[in-house]
Amino acid sequence: MSEANEGVSPLWHLTGFRLIKLGELVQATTASVFEAMELNARQFHVLATAATMAEPSQRELSRTLGIDPNVMVGVVDELERLELVERVRNPQDRRRYIVTPTLRALEVLARAQAAVARTEEEFFAGISEEERRVLHELSGRLIGQHPRVTKSE
């Protein structure tokens, strides 16, 4: 059986290498979706996560996404500059801030999520629904077995 990318790298036979390459392709494909909305993938992930958590602090977002806390400050600063989040003092702990998505952010997020879903459909069109479901399940299982091995993008 001949594979389109066989011979591209001596690492091609390694599943991990293929997953890295697949991740790079997905990331590059979705980058254009985020660019059109003046976001990047990291900002999208923070925004989407903040929108689903009850009153998350920067620290909670950092821990949940595996992003260094110092990096998270910069991401939230930029989202605040873009008027996509507001920092609100936590009334129970005045040293902490709650990261609150704005109404504009919720609109941007809804458009971005729909665009990402369409992009994923197109990207994975070459495999069946069942194959996609299996890939999704297996990748989730492996990620669950190796949490926090690496930092999120």
pLDDT digits (tens, 9 = 90+) for 102-111: 999 999 999 9
Residues above pLDDT 90, as percent of the chain: 70
CA distance 46 to 14: 31
CA distance 31 to 25: 10
Asked if 77 and 71 touch (Cβ cutoff 8 Å), the reply is no
CA distance 112 to 129: 23
Q: Is residue 90 pLDDT above 90, yes or no? A: no
Q: Is residue 3 pLDDT above 60, yes or no? A: no
Give CA angle at 53 (94, 104), nearest 5°: 90
Q: Is the pTM of this model over 0.85?
A: no
What average pLDDT is seen over the chain?
Answer: 89
Domains in the chain: ranges and CATH = 15-145 (1.10.10.10)
Query: Per-residue pLDDT tens for 117-141?
Result: 999 999 999 999 999 999 999 999 9
pLDDT score of 38: 84
Query: Per-residue pLDDT tens for 24-58?
Result: 999 999 888 888 888 999 999 999 999 999 999 99
Paired strand residues for 90:
93
Instruction: Supply the DSSP string of the chain, one letter for each residue.
Output: ---TTTTS-TTTT-HHHHHHHHHHHHHHHHHHHHHHTT--HHHHHHHHHHHHSSS-BHHHHHHHHT--HHHHHHHHHHHHHTTSEEEEEETTEEEEEEEEE-HHHHHHHHHHHHHHHHHHHHHTTTS-HHHHHHHHHHHHHHHHHSTTSS---
